Structures are given as C-alpha cells and as structure tokens.
Structure 1
C-alpha cells in the first residue's frame, strides 16, 4: 500500500458562484501536489433552488477549472447539473486533468426538499473506482445514513463523504463517518460545509476510528498511511481482504 496526503476542505458558500470558485481554487492551490482533496457538497452554489439553471450552466465553467487544477492532484466535490429529465446532484472526481468518476446522488434529503428539485441517481453509480492504486468509493451526504449503501463501498481503501450537514445533527455526522471507517476498515475523508446552518465536523478518519478534525480550519490535512488498512483487517479479521 501507499501513503498519500489527504485534505478535507471546510468552507462557507456565498451567493456569488464566481467568488466561491475562486475561493475553492485558492484553497486547492494551498494543498500539496499529488494529494487528494475533498470539498463539501455543492460548495460552489449551495442548493440555490431559485437559480438551478444558472447553477447548472456554472457547473461547466467549474468543471473546466477543476480539470485544470487536477493536473497534479485529485479533487472531489459535487455540483448541480441538468440533463433532459431534470437536475442532478453530481459527485465528480477530477484526477490528472480528467474526469475519473461521476455519480449522481441516489438518496435525496426530504427535510431539505431535495426530492422536489432533483432527480434520483441510479444506485449502480455508487461503485468502486481507482485513484492510482487506491480503491475508492463515495457517499453523498444523506446517503451516509443508509446501511445498504455502506455495502456498496465495502472493500474500499478510501471513502469520500461530501456533505452540507445540518448543525442540529452534528453528532450524527461525526458518529456515522467514524462508524463507516470502523465498519469498513477504510479511511474516510469527510467534508461538510461551514455556513452558519452547517455542522462542520469535516476531517480524516482512520480505519481504527481515529478522527482528525478541527472546526476552526478551512483546510484539514493528514498523511494517510494505507498500510493501516492491511494491519487492521489482519488484526481484526471480519472477512475483508
């Protein structure tokens, strides 16, 4: 296995899409090259239900920018995109200047009325993908609550959880991300928004359940030694290889 620098971004989202993209760009540039960087769910636009068409159009500009920034690193976030039958919350993985993986949010959050504005993605899109030699998977915010979706990312070395998690349920987010790491014996990279209504709680969780978090920071970083996965799966054998 390998070591890799991981970063979780914990940012506020403003109403101005261009300002959000510029801020995200500046944070990414602060991160080391050859690292993996996770930004919060829809951090460039928020859920902006009154400007969905505008957000979808902006996703094209954001995609071009993130493709360029990913020439020497990996960047993951989600954005609003429109297809023929409606809008989707798309998680996108940018790696070495290419779009490596995309999945549309399958479980939509009813308390946030997501089901009234978005189409549900195909569950089959929640699947393993590789970043170099690392087997990766992702769950988008509300999807973290569904055990059947944990099964779909079982066996991964690294699981991404971008979110805009409500501050009233902060303990839920931190408990579930930690439990996901322990149950799957994987590293979990979790990134939640930092707006006043959001839980924060972003961080890096090891397969042993050690959580590296700091609600005062926009960039939370740690070097992940993926040999820890082999160690924990051998030490506490639950049938994962």
Structure 2
C-alpha cells in the first residue's frame, strides 16, 4: 500500500477541482491511501457556503465511486440543521467509513464566524480501517499537542490543511515532530493555492520525509515494520 498526498491548487470552478482530484485518484494504485488538502474542492468559499455545501453532496457520490479500491480522505463543507461544518470524510469500498468535524476552528481565518464546531472534541481519536490504526488532525488542530498524546498508537496520522505560507516553517516542523514523537507515519496534505505554504509531505516514523513543493502528487510505500522497529528499540511507551 502506498501513502499518497495530494498538493493541488484550488480554482473558483468547483467542478474543475473535483475533476482534477478524481483524475489524480485514478492514477493511484489499488489499495493506496490518498489524502487531499483541506477543502480541496471549494476552498473556504465564505461568500458561497450554500453553493459549496450543495456541491459537496454531488462530490460525495463521485468520491464514493472512486473509493471502490482506494482509501480517500478529504474535507468538505457540509450543512446540517442550518449550520455549516468543515467535515473530514474517509471513503473506502464505496462507503463512508468515518467522518470528523473540525473542532479547533481557526479564528484568524474567520472560521469561527462561518463554521460551527461540534459540541466536543471526542472524535479526535484513533479509528480503525481494517488492521490500520488511523487518526486525523485538521489543520490548526496540529498545534494542540494534547492531541498528540491522545493519538499515540496510531499507525498513520492524517493532516489535511490550508496552512498559510507565512507559517511554512511551523507546518514542516510540527508535522515532522509529530511523526517522530508518535513513532508513526504522518500524511500532511496542504493546499497549493498562492496564499498557502504547500509543504505537503509523507513522513515516516524515523522522521524521514518525502516533500516537494513542485509536485501535485507525493507517494511513499507504507511499511508497518518501521513503526514496530522504532517502538521496540526506542521504547517510549507507545
């Protein structure tokens, strides 16, 4: 299984963004684990939240279809009971295996003004996909190290993001530190839109990373033995 992170630009055309993501997914191999950046299909779209939420319903159908033999992680704008949420979905075998609403909304980016957060942060946890232990931190949530402790034991931590270019070094440092501290793989997928820092990466438990700002698709083979090695010989209780 390859871990694949997508580093795509966001256009005003939602349809084109979806076509681009689906095209990239279709180039991946069977059983690959693919992560797109935060709100990769619509961006924040504060002026068009209703349109973005309606489009998400269509996108979900396309992503379910594309997930017949691949694991796909992506965040979408959804509307429930009159409220908008920044929601992470994990699709696999044409099903929604897991979803998680962003809890730590980014006030500097006006998320607290437009999005609703869940009543608590209990879904920031380890969940299972078959034998894989997976967890998700959505962008700003990466900065809260109390969640790092909660997620100890995960094989893979997903970090879909729209991280500003002025804090590029922070993103690269935090994602790498998370992989080393938790002795796991970290998949960081950040937007390539001009306001954001790219810096998408796949980082292994040794802290070695695949990172290339010039590419839209980054890939690394998952190796469970690396996790076992690190946790056995540098035993910190994970």
Q: TM-score when scaled to structure 2? A: 0.98
- Equivalents in 2 of 1:180, 1:229: separation in Å? 13
User: C-alpha deviations, 1:82-105, integer Å up to 9, x for none?
Assistant: 111511000000011100000000
Aligned to 2:123: 125
CA drift at 1:211: 1.1
Aligned to 2:142: 144
Aligned to 1:80: 77
- Equivalents in 1 of 2:79, 2:126: separation in Å? 24
1:177 matched to 2:175: yes
How is 1:42-121 mapped onto 2 (pairs within 5 angstroms)? Answer: 42-121=39-118
Any unmatched runs of 5+ in structure 2?
A: none
User: C-alpha deviations, 1:185-229, integer Å up to 9, x for none?
Assistant: 110011000011111010110011111111110000111211111
User: C-alpha deviations, 1:48-103, integer Å up to 9, x for none?
Assistant: 10100111111110100000000000000100001115110000000111000000
Any unmatched runs of 5+ in structure 1?
A: none
User: C-alpha deviations, 1:18-70, integer Å up to 9, x for none?
Assistant: 01000101010111111000000000000010100111111110100000000
CA drift at 1:132: 2.2
- Equivalents in 2 of 1:137, 1:153: separation in Å? 7
- Equivalents in 2 of 1:153, 1:138: separation in Å? 9
Aligned to 1:211: 209
Give 4+ residue runs of structure 1 displaced > 4 Å after superposition.
Answer: none
Q: Secondary structure at the match of 2:202?
A: strand
Aligned to 2:219: 221
Q: Which moved more, 1:231-240 or 1:150-159?
A: 150-159
Aligned to 2:199: 201
Q: Secondary structure at the match of 1:159?
A: strand
Aligned to 2:190: 192
1:236 matched to 2:234: yes
User: C-alpha deviations, 1:136-172, integer Å up to 9, x for none?
Assistant: 0000000000011222221100000000110110110
RMSD, aligned CA: 0.8
